[in-house]
Amino acid sequence: MRGLTVARKGSRRSLVVFAAALTIGFGLAGCASVDNALFGSDEAAEAPPPESAGDLPGTLPSSGSAATGGAMAGTMGAPAEASGTITPVTIEPGSDTGTVVSKSIASLRSELSDMQGKIVSAANELADLKNSGAQFAGNYHEAKAHITTRLQVGTTRGNPELVSEWNVAQSALDSLTGNINSLNALGAKVADAASRTHYALNTIQATYNVSGAVDEDHRQLTVLEDETNQTIILIDHLLKAVSDDIQRQTSYVANERANLTTLAAAIKNGELYGGDLGSSMMAPAAYSGDMGGVALVTIRFDHPDVEYQQILYTALSQALQSRPGASFRVLAVSPTRGSAAAVQLAQTSAQRHAQEVMRSMTDMGVPGTRLSISSTTDPGVSSSEVRVYVR
């Protein structure tokens, strides 16, 4: 197994990649111009790719059929509730004892109350995004079903009606991509809330050691500590829900873009081809066991804006070329140096980087069903790392 090192100019910071002698046969290329490529300039001029589904002639209805809803629910998940997804923690008010510690407690309590509002807002935003994602998926499946039905019974080559419906389907996938971008932005906000709440917990614990407190101050600190721990649990659940939805939708869009390309070729020839191209990637892994204890890729986040995507893509390509059924484990590694607060912040940062790497992997076409994530600490590292293992 060979090790590859890519160093940034003028810096010793580096990405170390351990790539087994194992090139992704797939990548996420947009389908915005696929009809031009497949149908030729004349037909493309008759039905150019639209900016939105609303600009298309003969746009399909936005609501899906019952059959569409079933297919959509199996892939994207059922529509989420618009509210009630998060029950905020009740923050107990406290009396002012007149001490310096009491003033600190009041400030911490106010910050925690503000955080509760942000959590509820983020949960409602997630529910809205899940609903809109399900709607876009329904629109896509309805357009796709119209096309496949017409192709199944036979039609003319390059039928402009099917080209128009293909553009509807493409527009729906583009809308889903925008939905994924919104989920990514939401995930960043929730991760920031997690970091702030962990920091607040460490501050509360440190306040116990401040002199000049009375017994009532320590009682209020105990209550506030419990409320903060409950808030952290809520945030962790919310962060996982956002991450799961990002992975599911990203994998879904990647596979359906490949399927849509196959469908475009079928429209050009006026006949339905075989099964979807994405189905082979979604098949269960055909083997088990790790490829030794060495990471396929180790990414060191020792400076801002680490450029790791190309190296990650190359390593995944080689792994999947050798083992098409491969699954991957993403491991967040954080250092253990410094204060308890510093260690906690490092763990949060490493986990956030691991989520980013996992999203990059799904963007590159790795199905979310073949990815898992975990975290650990390592006293031998000086900065956050993300390691990707083949399993």
Residue with tokens 């008010």: 93
* Co-location of 171 and 274 in the same domain: yes
Residue 18 has a pLDDT of 34
* Co-location of 108 and 48 in the same domain: yes
Please give the C-alpha separations between residue 295 and each of 18, 200, 250, 292, 352, in angstroms, as whole numbers. Answer: 6, 35, 24, 8, 19
Between CA 183 and CA 76 the distance in angstroms is 14
* Co-location of 276 and 295 in the same domain: no
End residue of a domain, out of 229, 263, 280: 280
Report strand pairing: 328-334 vs 371-377: parallel
Q: How many residues does the chain have?
A: 391
Residue 262 has a pLDDT of 73
58 CA to centre of own chain: 33
Q: Is 3 helix (H, G, I), strand (E, B) or coil?
A: strand
* Co-location of 209 and 110 in the same domain: yes
From the CB of residue 203, how many other CB atoms can be counted at a distance below 10 Å? 15
Residue 45 has a pLDDT of 35
CATH of the domain at 347: 3.30.1330.60
Between CA 229 and CA 201 the distance in angstroms is 7
* Co-location of 373 and 247 in the same domain: no
Between CA 316 and CA 58 the distance in angstroms is 41
Between CA 210 and CA 221 the distance in angstroms is 12
Q: Which residues contact 378 (CB under 8 A, 6 or more apart)?
A: 333, 334, 335, 336, 385
Using 70 as the pLDDT threshold, list the residues of the chain that sit under it.
1-85, 273-292, 363-365
* Co-location of 238 and 335 in the same domain: no
* Co-location of 202 and 303 in the same domain: no
129-159 residue pLDDT tens: 999 999 999 999 999 999 988 888 888 888 9
* Co-location of 248 and 343 in the same domain: no
* Co-location of 9 and 147 in the same domain: no
* Domain enclosing residue 134, as ranges: 31-280
Complete DSSP assignment for 148-169: HHHHHH---TT-HHHHHHHHHH
Residue 278 has a pLDDT of 33
Please give the C-alpha separations between residue 292 and each of 253, 328, 332, 375, in angstroms, as whole numbers. Answer: 32, 13, 18, 19
Residue 214 has a pLDDT of 92
Residue 75 has a pLDDT of 42
End residue of a domain, out of 280, 301, 328: 280
* Co-location of 8 and 54 in the same domain: no
Between CA 184 and CA 21 the distance in angstroms is 33
End residue of a domain, out of 280, 310, 325: 280
Domain count of the chain?
Answer: 2
The type of residue at 197 is T
* Co-location of 226 and 363 in the same domain: no
* Co-location of 180 and 220 in the same domain: yes
Residue 132 has a pLDDT of 92
